[in-house]
Amino acid sequence: MPNEEILGGLKAALARGESLKKAMMSFYSAGYKKEDIEAAARALYGQGEQPIRTGMTQLAKQIQQPIQKIKSKLQKAPQPKPAKSIQRVSNYEQPKPAKSIQRVSNYEQPKPKNNWLLFLLIFFLVLLLGILAGVYFFKEEIMDLFNSLF
In this predicted model, what pLDDT tens digit does every residue of 4-57 receive, in sequence order? 888 888 888 888 888 888 888 888 888 888 888 888 888 887 754 444 444 555
Determine what percent of the chain is predicted with pLDDT higher than 70. 55
Give me the half-sphere count of Cα atoms (radius 13 Å) on the Cβ side of residue 83.
3
**pTM of the predicted model as reported, rounded to 2 decimal places:** 0.32
Does the pLDDT at position 114 exceed 50?
A: yes
- Cα gap 128→121, rounded to integer Å: 11
Sorted by where each begins, the domain ranges of the chain are 4-76, 116-149
Has residue 121 got a pLDDT over 70? yes
CA 119 to chain centre: 58
From 50, 48, 41, select the one nearest 19 (Cα to Cα).
41
